[in-house]
Amino acid sequence: MADIQTLELLNYRKMPHASFDFYTFEKVIDDSLAQRISLASYMFNWGKIEGMRTDKHYRIWMNKYNAKCFRDTCQIFDAPKTKEVFSDITGVDYSACRTRIELCKDEAGSWLHNHYDDKAKLFTLQLYLSDSSVSTSFNKQNTSATSGNGWFFANTARELHGLNPLLERRISLIVNYVDHTWRDNTVLV
């Protein structure tokens, strides 16, 4: 079953000296699924972010497409066992949460203001499907992106993060576990 792969492959560590608890990981889905998602993403346009992801005219919600790799990804991250793994790590119960997964194809030059996530998002994970020398910043400190790696945190409204202008195109997945106050059910698995 796909969610067992997640449990076997999740290799994470808590980042020291951060002002909030966030974790990095080296792998969360197997390489073949990551490659299939990357290949399937070619059917979508690149989008440029200029300050806020919600300003983009074009967003890709994985639950809205029938590609097998998208369905598999939705199944993996929406599985009770996967939510239990992240609950055990962060100390927050995600069992009643709904799952939201966005495929992001960010054009070079894309950037995000430093921000805190919507309080309805109880969990945020970003999985990189490409390499980028500039990527998400935490507390105004830059990071890079390596394909297959990423980060996650339990949202407590203290997790300041953003994105300095990308030097190259970047493909990633953003997974959120949201509570009952989330407004747009059309984007949920």
CB atoms within 10 A of CB 54: 8
Position with higher pLDDT, 164 vs 96: 96
Beta bridge pairs of residue 152: 23, 125
Instruction: Kindly report the pTM of this predicted structure.
Output: 0.91
Token digits of residue 53: 């992801």
CATH superfamily of the 2-187 domain: q2cbj1_9rhob like domain (2.60.120.620)
139-179 residue pLDDT tens: 777 788 889 999 899 998 878 888 889 999 999 999 999 99
Q: What is the pLDDT of residue 4?
A: 45
- Encode 105-115: b = buried (16+ Cβ within 10 Å), e = exposed: bbbeebbbeee
Express each pLDDT in 32-80 by its tens digit: 999 999 999 999 999 888 877 765 567 899 999 999 999 999 999 999 9
Gap between the Cα atoms of 84 and 158, Å rounded: 23
pLDDT of residue 10: 65
